[in-house]
Amino acid sequence: MAEQRRGERLDQPRAPRGLHLPRIDSDSFGRWAEGIARGMGTANFLVYMTLILAAWFLWNTLAPANLRFDPYTFTFLTLVLSLQASYAAPLILLAQNRQADRDRVSLDEDRRRATMQKADTEYLAREIAALRIAMGDVATRDFLRSELARLAEELDDSAERRRRLKRRHQEREARRAADGDALDEPRDELDGDFAHDGRHEG
């Protein structure tokens, strides 16, 4: 006893005393419970269970008395079915709880994704609105086309005005040239007359 007390240390926690139960992996046990509950909820289980019960009834009713292991009132069958129900109910409840946990996690994930998608949609809507506002100040294709057409018309008008001015200038120059020729002819005649008169005087 003294050696045991001497071996205990105050700086370390005391090891728990009592019955040590084996540790069970809750995840593995839950998957096993879900498998059983999933199997019990199928048509195959109902068909096989019905066949077993029918065989049980027929054997313990029609078989010789010394071979009947559960005679009428079927006490053993009642015990088996009670045990099955007592274990099936917690297994099904465990499977439902695990499914509820998965559904809750899935709903949380869906809610998070929906929130992210909403935020992304609002961001894209703001970006599109900003682009529309920015595009309002940018020349569009129709605007450029109309401006180019107007510029082409202005260039055609200015070219037509230049041609008219050039034609007028040419006509004016032609008139001036014609007027100059008409004035030069009398001067030549006068010069000729003066020269003729001088020859006579000489």
**Same domain for 144 and 106:** no
CA 152 to chain centre: 47
> What average pLDDT does this structure show over 85-94?
89
Is 119 a member of any domain? no
The whole-angstrom separation of Cα 25 and Cα 47 is: 32
pLDDT band at 20 (very low <50, low <70, confident <90, very high): low
Mean pLDDT of the chain: 80
* C-alpha pair distances (Å), 65 with each of 54, 59, 71: 18, 10, 8
**Same domain for 147 and 106:** no
**Same domain for 40 and 80:** yes
Number of folded domains in the chain? 2
> What average pLDDT does this structure show over 3-8?
53
Q: How many C-beta atoms lie closer than 10 Å to residue 40's C-beta?
A: 16
> What average pLDDT does this structure show over 163-190?
73
- Choose between 168 and 186: higher pLDDT: 168
Percentage above 70 pLDDT, the chain: 76
* C-alpha pair distances (Å), 181 with each of 108, 165, 168, 174: 107, 24, 20, 11
Is 149 a member of any domain? yes
Contact predicate 41/91, CB 8 Å: no
Is 151 a member of any domain? yes
- Choose between 22 and 76: higher pLDDT: 76
Is 10 a member of any domain? no
**Same domain for 143 and 75:** no
CA 77 to chain centre: 59
- Choose between 200 and 127: higher pLDDT: 127
> pLDDT tens digits, residue range 140-152?
777 778 888 888 8
Contact predicate 95/33, CB 8 Å: yes
Is 115 a member of any domain? no
Helix-helix angle 75-136:26-40, to 10 degrees: 110
First to last CA, the chain: 183
The predicted structure's pLDDT at residue 195: 45
Which of 9-23, 108-122, 139-153, 171-185 ranks highest by mean pLDDT?
108-122
Q: How many C-beta atoms lie closer than 10 Å to residue 74's C-beta?
A: 16
The predicted structure's pLDDT at residue 143: 75
Is 3 a member of any domain? no
pLDDT band at 19 (very low <50, low <70, confident <90, very high): low
The predicted structure's pLDDT at residue 201: 46
Tokens representing 1? 């006893």
* Residue 99 structural domain: 27-110
**Same domain for 92 and 154:** no
| Residue reference for tokens 């540790």 | 23
pTM: 0.46
Tokens representing 49? 């269970």
Task: Bin 18: left if φ > 0, else alpha if -120 < ψ < 50, else beta.
Answer: left
